[in-house]
Amino acid sequence: MRKLGSKTLSILGRLLASKGSALALIFLVSITLAAIFADFLPLNPVAQKLANALKGPSATNWFGTDELGRDILARVIFGARTSLVTAGGAVAIAALVGVPIGLVAGFFGGWRDAALMRFVDVLLALPAILFAMAMIAVLGRSQAAALIAVGLTGIPSFARITRAQVLTLRKRDFVTAVEAFGGTATYNMFRTILPNSWSPIFVQVVVLCSVAILLEAALSFLGVGVPPPTPSWGEMLRTGKSYLHEAPYYAVLPGIVLTLTILSFDVLGRALADLLEGRRDAVIAPKAEEVTS
Amino acid sequence: MIGFVLRRLLQLVPVLLLASTAIWAMIYAVPGGPIGAIAGDNASPEQIAAATAQFGLDRPVLVQYADWLWNAIRGDFGMSIRGRAPVLELIGQRLPATLQLAVAATIVSLVIGIPVAIASALRPGSWLDRILSGWSAMALGVPTFWLGILLILVFAVELRWLPSASAYVPIWKDPLGAIRNLALPALTLGIYVSGILARFLRASLVSELRADYVRTARSKGLPERQIVGVHILRNALLPFITIVGLMMANFIGGAVVTEAVFTYPGIGRLLIQAISTRDYPLIQGCIVVILVLYIAINMAVDVLYAYIDPRIDYR
């Protein structure tokens, strides 16, 4: 445990040594803290003051006010909670389903591999945003539906990355040794191979966070994501778009926070891929380019 | 060659079949079933029974599925519940708009992406190269809906050069009007992917630049312009075709968000409307048509690639 701790610290140190990833990390930590402790901040995302509607940024409302006179900064901070929770849950679903699929497919090969990977191919047959929209059409519009829909689109990348990792480890001596000593397949997969596969999976978690936040915001922007009373960044951009003439800051400022969050996860993912695996220009996030075109 | 194409077509059948079955089953599994959407939430039991009989929803599941599949293969996705028109007709009205935008966006991204890639590959580490790597990282992070909003703010709200909502104007009827309407959505999509394109092309150019034939060409004293323009570019563009094809396929299926930003009447907006009105036949139709186009383009790219590159064995 101590050894793991020092390793984590040294990776953290090397991340902070680069200006880009240090900034990304600082931004993400502060936005996460703001989201967690939003209730203790002197901000109210639901208080309406109609007389104060669509006022530009000022000393009291740093990001201005929306069409109902609510404070946009407060809604951005509470929206961070929505975004981070949805994205985090989605990535957890994707990893919890995708990693075992990749483990089994890669470990056993043969028909199990063929069947599981065909299933994954079907998930990839549609652009992620369409697949998520179809899921929401079935589940109905809710935060849970958005979380599940985004999560399902992330399964293929975890399955593929884990499978590739298993294939490189499968014939290594320490794996065959466990087999020779009578270790069960389950033991071998989860106790021998999985602990040696953490770094690509972890990199994928960080990268997929950026994709999930983008996808969730896109769904809310389209009006099929997290339903309205809950503040969400995509929804703010959707409403802000109707007030581009009167209140350009309304769509622009939440968009900056959204973009910085996505970029920060992306920068961190690249830096980690470089540090943990020496992949410099890795093809990261296979579905990212199609997420919101 | 014909055998290769046929085999590729055959490989598509299971993917298409599985995916369309999944789409059908998803809709069938909707809580309350499609009938709730057809008859309305406040329907009386008699109305529900009538609608159930009318749409054949009282038959066994497998019969319903077989019936749907057989009709779908013949291009019949039934009637739209809200639009009271055949689903395929509604999709057919929107498809030209989506295709026109996809072509325009592809042109924009190539016009930006190719020169940038060549310039940065020839001078690695230069300011242009550094801008490119920043650009492609940004391209993945900046959401198109925000980029689109920024473009509307600058070109429609402030400068008043272009419309903020884009109508579909067929380019052969009114080229100038079509370009005015396409400019912002095509630019949004084009900026977004040009960074990705440029990075791929740069990588393949850089690896070609190190190849032996380039050294031979240089030692023969060929002008650099000819080496890059004729020899290297031709080889580097090969893998690039795959990326461009994938990108076009995504523009057709995945331009949903950009179409929404500019209220452009493409197939993506039709799908959003279908979802918000719970028009299940229309949802199924849209997704299957997009899926078919998406897979067809991917296959066309594969075949084209094998045709152009003699090193690929297509037997």
CATH code linked to domain A63-292: 1.10.3720.10
Angle B212-B213-B215 from CA coordinates, rounded to 5°: 65
Distance between CA A248 and CA A177 in Å, rounded? 64
Closest-CA distance, A170 to chain B, in angstroms, reads: 29
Helix (H, G, I), strand (E, B) or coil at A15: helix
Name the token pair of A20.
């880009």
Handedness of CA B291, B296, B299, B300 (dihedral sign): negative
Mean pLDDT throughout A108-135?
81
First-last CA distance in chain A: 44
B200 near A CB under 8 A = no
Quick check: A263 and B138 CB within 8 A? yes
pLDDT > 90: percent of chain A = 14
SS3 content of chain A, % helix, strand, coil (to 5): 75, 0, 25
Quick check: A138 and B26 CB within 8 A? yes
- Interface residue of B184, B257, B269, B282 to substitute, partner A, most A CBs within 10 Å: B257
Residue with token string 């967690």: A36
SS3 content of chain B, % helix, strand, coil (to 5): 75, 0, 25
pLDDT score for A84: 92
Closest-CA distance, A142 to chain B, in angstroms, reads: 13
pLDDT exceeds 60 at position B145: yes
Quick check: A244 and B153 CB within 8 A? yes
For residue A290, the chain B residue with the least C-alpha distance is B250
pLDDT exceeds 50 at position A291: no
Quick check: A293 and B260 CB within 8 A? no
For residue A211, the chain B residue with the least C-alpha distance is B141
For residue B275, the chain A residue with the least C-alpha distance is A137
Binned at pLDDT 50, 70 and 90, residue A278 comes out as low
Architecture field, domain B88-308: Orthogonal Bundle (1.10)
Name the token pair of B147.
């980029």
**Cα dihedral B138, B144, B146, B148 in deg (nearest 10):** 120
Name the token pair of B111.
């016009």
Residues of B within 8 A of A251 (CB-CB) are 146, 149, 153
Q: Which of A118, A136, A289 is facing B140, going by the closest CB pair? A: A289
How many Cα atoms are found within 13 Å in the side-chain-facing hemisphere of B51? 16
| Global confidence as pTM | 0.84
Q: Which residues pair with B79 in a beta bridge?
A: B86
pLDDT exceeds 80 at position B170: yes
Q: Which of B19, B149, B290 is facing A241, going by the closest CB pair? A: B149
pLDDT exceeds 60 at position B315: no
Quick check: A255 and B294 CB within 8 A? no
Q: Which residues pair with B86 in a beta bridge?
A: B79
With beta carbons less than 8 A apart as the criterion, state whether A289 and B194 touch. no
Residues of A within 8 A of B152 (CB-CB) are 241, 244
A161-220 confidence digits (pLDDT tens): 888 888 888 778 888 888 888 778 888 888 888 888 888 888 889 889 988 999 999 999
Binned at pLDDT 50, 70 and 90, residue B314 comes out as low
Mean pLDDT throughout B58-76?
78
Closest-CA distance, A259 to chain B, in angstroms, reads: 5
More confident residue, A43 or A143: A143
Strongest mean pLDDT among A11-20, A89-98, B205-214, B248-257: A89-98
pLDDT exceeds 70 at position A268: yes
Mean of all residue pLDDT scores within chain A: 82
Alpha helices in A143-247 (DSSP H): 143-169, 173-180, 185-187, 198-222, 233-240
Distance between CA B254 and CA A289 in Å, rounded? 10
Residues of B within 8 A of A130 (CB-CB) are 253-254, 256, 271, 287, 290
Mean pLDDT throughout B240-259?
80
Angle B46-B47-B52 from CA coordinates, rounded to 5°: 100
Helix (H) or strand (E) run with residue A259 in it? helix A248-277
How many Cα atoms are found within 13 Å in the side-chain-facing hemisphere of A6? 2
Distance between CA A74 and CA A257 in Å, rounded? 13
Quick check: A125 and B150 CB within 8 A? no
φ, ψ for residue A53, nearest 5 deg? -70, 145
pLDDT score for A147: 92
Q: Which of B140, B164, B260 is facing A288, going by the closest CB pair? A: B140
With beta carbons less than 8 A apart as the criterion, state whether B196 and B155 touch. no
Distance between CA B34 and CA B55 in Å, rounded? 10
pLDDT score for A90: 94
Quick check: A251 and B146 CB within 8 A? yes
With beta carbons less than 8 A apart as the criterion, state whether A85 and A150 touch. no
pLDDT score for A217: 92
Q: Nearest CA to A218 among A90, A94, A99, A119?
A: A90
Quick check: A262 and B143 CB within 8 A? yes
More confident residue, B297 or A263: A263
Closest-CA distance, A112 to chain B, in angstroms, reads: 17
pLDDT score for A34: 86
Distance between CA B116 and CA A101 in Å, rounded? 40
pLDDT exceeds 70 at position A292: no
Name the token pair of B143.
């959401």
Among A107-111, B26-30, B169-173, the minimum mean pLDDT is found in B26-30
Mean of all residue pLDDT scores within chain B: 80
More confident residue, B237 or A231: A231
B252 near A CB under 8 A = no
Quick check: A255 and B146 CB within 8 A? yes
Distance between CA A284 and CA A206 in Å, rounded? 11
Mean pLDDT throughout A76-84?
89
Please state the domain extents for chain B.
Answer: 2-85, 88-308
pLDDT exceeds 90 at position A95: yes
pLDDT > 70: percent of chain B = 89
Distance between CA B152 and CA B148 in Å, rounded? 6
- ipTM beyond 0.90? no
Mean pLDDT throughout B18-35?
70
Cβ neighbours for A258, distance < 8 A, ≥ 6 positions apart? A83, A213, A217, A233, A234, A237, B143, B146
Quick check: A134 and B287 CB within 8 A? yes
Binned at pLDDT 50, 70 and 90, residue A98 comes out as very high
Residues of A within 8 A of B19 (CB-CB) are 122, 125-126
For residue A264, the chain B residue with the least C-alpha distance is B141
B203 near A CB under 8 A = yes
pLDDT > 70: percent of chain A = 92
Quick check: A285 and B250 CB within 8 A? no
Please state the domain extents for chain A.
Answer: 63-292
- Interface residue of A123, A222, A260, A291 to substitute, partner B, most B CBs within 10 Å: A222
Distance between CA A290 and CA A277 in Å, rounded? 25
For residue B202, the chain A residue with the least C-alpha distance is A281
pLDDT exceeds 70 at position A241: yes
Distance between CA B123 and CA B220 in Å, rounded? 22
